[in-house]
Amino acid sequence: MDRFSLEREGPKVKVTIATDLTAETVPELRDLLCAIQEDGVTDLALDLSGARALDATGISLLVATANSFRGGNKNLALRSVPRSIFSLFQTLRIAQRLGAQPE
């Protein structure tokens, strides 16, 4: 299975992440997210159900995505966030900012 799969319906995109978000995988996801944003997407959902861990690089990418994707008529949501990752987001006080929804 690919690390990232994309479903698009007009300006809405869902990216399913089937890997951990670490320094090894983040560059590929960053490139995908930049392309999505440049393509006029206004509603982005990241499904984290396949992620079991993330490092500082992964957290940084998610915060940067939230910063660039929120505002105006854009919407970002993190869906199916594993409990352990959601707990980390809560500890860092970024769960709400990321639109994180636990599994």
Q: Does residue 1 register a pLDDT over 70?
A: no
What residue ranges define each of the domains in the chain, with the CATH number in brackets? Answer: 4-102 (3.30.750.24)
In this prediction, residue 42 has a pLDDT band, given cuts at 50, 70 and 90, of: confident
pTM over 0.85: yes
Mean pLDDT, range 5-21, rounded to an integer:
93
Strand partners, 8: 13
**pLDDT tens string 44-64:** 999 999 999 999 999 999 999
Q: What is the pLDDT of residue 6?
A: 93
What does the pLDDT read at residue 49? 94
CB within 8 A of 51, min separation 6: which ones?
17, 18, 19, 20, 21, 58, 82, 85
Residue-wise pLDDT tens digits, 67-94: 887 777 888 999 999 999 999 999 999 9
* Mean pLDDT value across the chain: 92
